[in-house]
């Protein structure tokens, strides 16, 4: 079959995979391909055991794989074939040299630019899909245009706003798609081609075009604003715990103000995920490199507060359990950084587990999807840890339960059965405020929600 266009994603991870699958399904006249240097990952994309879990993703992949959606490790041939290349590789925090612990590590990014030049025999549109520091397109263009084949590459920025666990829905019903382009004839033409893709399923008013730098920066700022809301509500939760105010009541009271809005106001053990922390640290680094110290400090506080939130949760547990958890079994319910994903990158559960192990607690960790990752995350950390898919067995003989991920199934567990089989006095620490606290208290638990008064049977 002849396809109208060849679209390629370099990088077949959490962003490349779902994004390209949706584009392929919505644009059957385009041939969509994903390549990756990770051969095992590509083999899994070509199997029934996909490398990532997202509701609805497997159904899409199964229905169009081999028709207009392809996964391959032959990066050179795929580049040569492609008219439009989305670069969706990882851009983690740098761990070495200048900017270590803050700046983006752009080595994977730069490597793709060289690979594109090496294998191209025609002009192409290159789309920045990964999240990048503002003005990265300039560096990309310098590498791409330093070719002696007379080739022209037009770089467009199209950052991704999907959230894990709802990726397909977020892509299908995107609040907006952002396309940053150069204000030249070729820049506008390239942007139109990208707009055409999304117009297959999104109305024109949802597609925003800007200059390249606004687009790059907007992605970092969107994540910084979202994370800042969580740190703001978590800071509020701390005040609530000292003042007998209730953080959920406060969230409802302020969220009804349309200027503030109700979403992203759930107090928690802290935000996790692969991006919030790395993107804010990157923003902090950029601000410092511009000499904007107060701006850098401002955003840095969002991350500091998040670190403190995790530590405070552990301190609260230890202090409630008579200042020692040594030798006590504690069941951690949830390890993923949020519900509906098996991803544990930067999950608050990792730090909480580590700190509890330092206190010599004995951990039983349960999660419907993240146990393999949990095992890897805690490898090498001294202490006793059991990984238990069944939450009831995890709680057996435990002195405390801690809810670390808001999996809906944790709401509906049989807590009277759990209580009967726990060590007494039994404690619940609800790090996501998803349980019915008065009911648990009546069953006999000492209950410690977040940002509201604890319910304790002790005098």
Q: Does 236 bind ligand UGA (CB under 6 A)?
A: no
275 is catalytic: yes
Partner in contact with 90, chosen from ligand UGA, ligand NAD, none, beta carbon below 5 to 8 Å by kind: ligand NAD
d(CA 196, CA 125): 13
36 binds ligand NAD (CB under 6 A): yes
Q: Which residues pair with 5 in a beta bridge?
A: 30
Contact between 348 and ligand NAD per CB under 6 A:
no
User: How many chain residues touch ligand NAD (CB under 6 A)?
Assistant: 26
SS3 36: coil
Q: Whats the size of the chain, residue-wise?
A: 459
239 to 278: interface string for ligand NAD, x by CB under 6 A: -----------------------------------xx---
For ligand UGA, the closer of residues 216 and 359 by Cβ is 216
- How many Cβ atoms are within 10 Å of 73's Cβ, its own excluded? 15
∠ CA(86), CA(88), CA(92), 5° rounding?
150
Whole-number minimum distance, CB 214 to ligand UGA, in Å? 17
Min dist. Cβ of residue 182 to ligand NAD (A):
21
Residue 424 CB, nearest distance to ligand UGA (Å)? 31
Strands of 385-387's sheet in order across = 385-387, 362-366, 329-333, 400-403, 427-430, 446-448
* Stretch near ligand NAD under the rule CB under 6 A, chosen from 31-39, 147-155, 226-234, 321-329: 31-39
Does position 12 interact with ligand NAD (CB under 6 A)? The reply is: yes
DSSP states of 76-129? HHHHHH-SEEEE-----B--SSTTTTTSB--HHHHHHHHHHHHH-SS-EEEEE-
The HSE-up count of residue 227 (CA atoms within 13 Å, CB side) is: 29
The residue (of 362 and 431) whose beta carbon lies closer to ligand UGA is 431
Peptide bond before residue 425 is cis, with ω within 30 degrees of 0: yes
Binding flag, residue 41, ligand NAD (CB under 6 A)? yes
108 binds, among ligand NAD, ligand UGA, none (CB under 5 to 8 A by kind): ligand NAD
Binding residues with ligand UGA: total (CB under 6 A): 21
Of 7, 8, 13, 99, the residue at the interface with ligand NAD (CB under 6 A) is 13
Please pick, from the candidates 275, 303, 314, 418, the single residue that binds ligand UGA as defined by CB under 6 A: 275
361 binds ligand NAD (CB under 6 A): no
Element (H, E) at 231: helix 212-243
Cα–Cα distance, 69 to 142 (Å, whole number): 31
310 scored as a contact of ligand UGA (CB under 6 A): no
Work out whether 302 is an interface residue with ligand NAD (CB under 6 A): no
Dmax (CA) of the chain: 81
Question: Taking CB under 6 A as the rule, which mask of x and - marks residues 104-133 in contact with ligand NAD?
Answer: ----x--xx-----------------xx--
Q: 407 is in the binding site of which of ligand UGA, ligand NAD, none (Cβ under 5 to 8 A by kind)?
A: none
List the x/- string, 316-355, binding to ligand UGA by CB under 6 A.
---------------------xx-----------------
Residue 309 touches which member of ligand NAD, ligand UGA, none, C-beta under 5-8 Å by kind:
none
* Count of CB atoms situated within 10 Å of the CB of 415: 22
Helix (H) or strand (E) holding 292: none
Give the per-residue contact string, 135-174, with ligand UGA (x = CB under 6 A; - = no).
-------------------------xxxxx----------
CA distance 135 to 129: 14
Contact criterion met (CB below 8 Å) for 431 and 401: no
Range in contact with ligand UGA (rule: CB under 6 A) among 148-156, 189-197, 222-230, 241-249? 222-230
DSSP 332: E
Which residues lie across from 71 on neighbouring strands? 34
Rg (CA), the chain: 24
- Which single residue is written with the structure tokens 């612990």? 101
Cβ neighbours of residue 286 closer than 8 Å, sequence gap 6 or more: 133, 134, 220
340 binds ligand NAD (CB under 6 A): no
At closest approach, how far in Å is the CB of 315 from ligand NAD? 30
Q: Which two tokens stand for residue 399?
A: 């002195």
Q: Does 280 bind ligand UGA (CB under 6 A)?
A: no
Q: Compare residues 108 and 161 and give the one whose CB is closer to ligand UGA.
A: 161
Shortest Cβ 179–ligand NAD spacing (Å): 15
Distance CA(429)–CA(440), nearest Å, equals 11
CA dihedral 351, 344, 338, 9 (to 10 degrees): 140
- Of 137, 220, 275, 352, the catalytic one is 275
- Report CA-CA distances (Å) from 341 to 51, 162, 164, 180, 368: 12, 13, 7, 30, 9
What is the contact surface with ligand NAD in residues (CB under 6 A)?
10-16, 35-38, 41, 88-91, 108, 111-112, 130-131, 160, 162, 164, 274-275
Interaction site with ligand UGA (CB under 6 A):
131, 160-164, 223, 226, 230, 264-266, 268, 271-276, 337-338
């Amino acid at each position: 079959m002849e396809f109208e266009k060849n679209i390629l994603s370099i990088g077949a991870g959490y962003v490349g995979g779902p994004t390209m699958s949706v584009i392929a399904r919505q644009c059957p006249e385009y041939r969509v391909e994903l390549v990756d240097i990770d051969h095992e990952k590509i083999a899994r994309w070509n199997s029934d055991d996909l490398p990532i879990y997202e509701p609805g993703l497997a159904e899409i992949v199964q229905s169009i794989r081999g028709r207009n959606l392809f996964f391959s490790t032959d990066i050179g041939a795929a580049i040569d074939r492609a008219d439009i290349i989305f670069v969706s590789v990882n851009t983690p925090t740098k761990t070495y040299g200048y900017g270590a612990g803050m700046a983006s590590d752009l080595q994977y990014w730069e490597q793709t630019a060289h690979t594109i030049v090496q294998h191209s025999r025609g002009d192409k549109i290159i789309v920045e899909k990964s999240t990048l520091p503002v003005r990265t397109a300039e560096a990309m263009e310098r590498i791409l245009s330093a070719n002696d084949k007379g080739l022209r590459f037009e770089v467009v920025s199209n950052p991704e706003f999907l959230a894990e666990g709802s990726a397909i829905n977020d892509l299908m019903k995107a609040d907006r798609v952002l396309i940053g382009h150069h204000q030249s004839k070729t820049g506008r033409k390239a942007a139109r081609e990208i707009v055409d893709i999304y117009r297959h399923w999104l109305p024109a008013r949802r597609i925003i075009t800007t200059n390249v730098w606004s687009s790059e920066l907007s992605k970092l700022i969107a994540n910084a604003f979202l994370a800042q809301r969580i740190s703001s509500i978590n800071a509020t939760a701390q005040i609530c715990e000292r003042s007998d105010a209730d953080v959920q009541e406060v969230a409802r009271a302020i969220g009804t103000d349309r200027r503030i809005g109700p979403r992203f106001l759930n107090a928690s053990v802290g935000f996790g995920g692969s991006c919030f922390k790395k993107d804010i640290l990157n923003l902090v680094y950029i601000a410092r490199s511009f000499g904007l110290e107060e701006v850098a400090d401002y955003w840095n506080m969002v991350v500091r507060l998040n670190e403190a939130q995790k530590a405070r949760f552990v301190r609260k547990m230890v202090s409630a359990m008579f200042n020692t958890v040594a030798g006590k079994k504690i069941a951690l319910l949830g390890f993923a950084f949020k519900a509906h994903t098996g991803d544990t990158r930067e999950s608050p559960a990792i730090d909480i587990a580590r700190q509890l192990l330092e206190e010599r607690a004995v951990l039983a960790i349960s999660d419907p999807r993240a146990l393999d990752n949990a095992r890897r995350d805690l490898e090498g950390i001294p202490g006793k840890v059991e990984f238990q898919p069944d939450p009831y067995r995890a709680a057996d003989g435990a002195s405390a339960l801690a809810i670390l991920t808001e999996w809906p199934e944790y709401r509906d567990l049989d807590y009277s059965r759990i209580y009967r089989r726990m060590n007494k006095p039994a404690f619940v620490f609800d790090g996501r405020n998803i349980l019915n606290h008065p009911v648990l208290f009546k069953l006999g638990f000492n209950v410690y929600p977040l940002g509201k008064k604890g319910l304790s049977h002790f005098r």
